[in-house]
Each structure stands twice: as structure tokens, then as C-alpha cells.
């Protein structure tokens, strides 16, 4: 999707930088919006805002990532329903996916869907003042870090 907002971009960059710094030297790859994610070898491709792969099969990928452990979407009014619905349904077919994170660009809230030991997706909500925990990459940070230097959008802007 082209034409994303500046706050959308700022949030994505803040997270990607934090992930890259945290994962440096750990043989994990952090990718942003221009990197293609394949839900299967037969098709369905998306461009998530941020993703991390820990899988050796993706280490030398040049066109498509197939084995992410973490996928993040920054929500906008035009994409929110799709990100929550059909896209998440398709992402759940990725066997290596452990966390799916939705970040709001209009208010300081994050929803983290985490795959539990029983194979069910559990929701963990974060808001202002909370410490965000991304278990798939063993990273914790204050939610305010994601919104650093971000002008939160008003609905309809």
C-alpha cells in the first residue's frame, strides 16, 4: 500500500530500529514494508510493516520471506478491518508465526496476538504506561518508545 501516513511510518521505523538493535548478531532478520511475505509457496503475498524471521531457510532470501516468527501491522482506518480479519486468517497458516502485532497510529494502543502452547491465539493488549513484551524475539520495551516523535493522527486526517 502506498501513501501511508507519516505517523504510520514513524511507528514502523521506531519498532524496526529497536528490533534490529536487539537482534544484532543473533542470526535473525528484521524486514520492513518493501519485503514480501509469502503465506505459502503457491501464492498469497503481503507486505507487512515490520517482520522478523528466525528461520535459517529465510537467511539468504532475496525476493520473499516464508518463515517469519513475528509480523507487525500498523493500523490505518483504510486497512484496519482487513488486517484484523482476512489477513490475520491467512497469516495463521504460517507454521513459524508466533506473534501478530497490530499497532494503532491514532492512539497509543497495541494488540499482540500470541500463539500459546496449545495452538490457540491469545490476545494481550498494551496501552499508555505499559511495558510491551514480544516473546517471539525476547524483547520488552515501554510502549512510549514506539510512539517517540510521533504525532498521533486524528480519525479522518
CATH number, domain with residue 36: 3.90.1570.10
| Inside any domain, residue 5 | no
3-state class of 152 per DSSP? coil
From first CA to last CA, the distance across the chain in angstroms is 17
pLDDT, tens only, 85-102: 999 999 999 999 999 999
Residue 4: predicted pLDDT: 80
| Inside any domain, residue 1 | no
| Inside any domain, residue 96 | yes
| Inside any domain, residue 3 | no
| Inside any domain, residue 129 | yes
Q: Quote the Cα angle for 11-31-52, to 5°.
A: 95
pLDDT, tens only, 79-138: 999 999 999 999 999 999 999 999 999 999 999 999 999 999 999 999 999 999 999 999
| Inside any domain, residue 59 | yes
| Inside any domain, residue 122 | yes
How many independent structural domains does the chain possess? Answer: 1
Q: Where are the beta strands (DSSP E) in 25-63?
A: 29-32, 36-40, 43-46, 50-53
Structural domain span for residue 47: 18-146
**CA gyration radius for the chain?**
15
Backbone angles phi, psi at 6, to 5 degrees: -65, -45
Contact 81, 55 (CB under 8 A): no
| Inside any domain, residue 13 | no
Q: Which three cell numbers stand for residue 56?
A: 535459517
Amino acid at each position: 500500500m502506498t501513501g501511508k501516513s507519516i505517523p504510520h511510518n514513524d511507528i514502523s521505523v521506531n519498532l524496526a530500529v529497536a528490533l534490529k538493535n536487539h537482534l544484532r548478531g543473533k542470526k535473525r532478520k528484521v524486514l520492513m514494508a518493501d519485503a514480501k511475505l509469502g503465506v505459502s509457496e503457491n501464492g498469497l503475498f503481503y507486505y507487512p510493516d515490520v517482520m522478523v524471521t528466525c528461520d535459517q531457510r529465510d537467511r539468504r532470501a532475496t525476493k520473499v520471506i516464508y518463515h517469519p516468527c513475528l509480523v507487525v501491522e500498523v493500523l490505518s482506518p483504510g486497512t484496519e478491518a482487513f488486517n484484523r480479519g482476512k489477513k490475520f486468517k491467512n497469516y495463521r497458516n504460517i507454521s513459524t508465526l508466533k506473534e501478530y502485532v497490530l499497532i494503532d497510529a491514532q492512539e497509543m494502543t497495541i494488540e499482540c496476538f500470541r500463539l500459546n502452547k496449545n495452538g490457540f491465539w491469545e490476545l494481550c493488549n498494551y496501552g499508555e504506561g505499559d511495558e510491551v513484551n514480544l516473546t517471539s524475539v525476547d524483547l520488552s520495551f515501554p510502549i512510549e518508545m514506539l510512539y517517540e516523535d510521533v504525532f498521533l493522527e486524528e480519525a479522518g486526517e
